[in-house]
Each structure stands twice: as C-alpha cells, then as structure tokens.
Structure 1
Amino acid sequence: MRRSLVLSTESRRHWFRASLPQRRRAFADIAPVAPVDWRLTAQDVRGAASTYFATLAAVLAFIV
C-alpha cells in the first residue's frame, strides 16, 4: 500500500497517535508555554566583560 507523504485531509491522522488511548493523547492538546524572552541586558554585558577581563588577567599572570 502506497501512502502519500502529504495528507490530503486533516481527518487522516498518524497511525501511532490514533492507536494511543485518549488519556495519553490529552498531553498533545495542552497549550504550549509562553516563549522565553532572550533580551540582552546591561547586567549581562557587564558580567561577560568582567569574565573576559578576569580570564585575561589570569592568563597574563601565568605567562609572566
């Protein structure tokens, strides 16, 4: 039996998901969580700069 990759209707579901009991499929109907806000703050820049300079000072101390 040949099946097309693209479903022709939305009523045709995946065979494995259709075989699961209803209590297992309920998790798929839960709304996704809100996306995480990845803004760069001044505190992040300050932390990265201080880490860079501390590492640079440690490397220079080992060299000298």
Structure 2
Amino acid sequence: MRRRLVLTNEAARHPFRRSLPPPQLARSRRDDDQDLRLFVLSFTAFFISIYTFLL
C-alpha cells in the first residue's frame, strides 16, 4: 500500500490544529536569552516594588 505525502501534523486531529504549521523542535540561543532577560526584569521589578512598599 502506498502512502501519500502528508504535509500536516498527523497528531493534530482538530481541523484548526491541522492548519497550524508543525512545531519547531530546535529553539535558538537568542530565544533562551530573551527568556532569561524577561525573568531578571520581572524579578527586579517585583523586588523593587516590595522593597518600596515595606519602607
């Protein structure tokens, strides 16, 4: 039996999920750096606001 070429994700059974592009497995180094920057910024903002509230 010959199988035709499937360009969509077979694991997605809902029509909307089938229309989405397949997930990218490899994340770039820049994305990881962006997550770290967001965490540091959020932590700093939270620390400053709590410290200001207590004084």
TM-score, normalised relative to structure 1: 0.44
TM-score, normalised relative to structure 2: 0.50
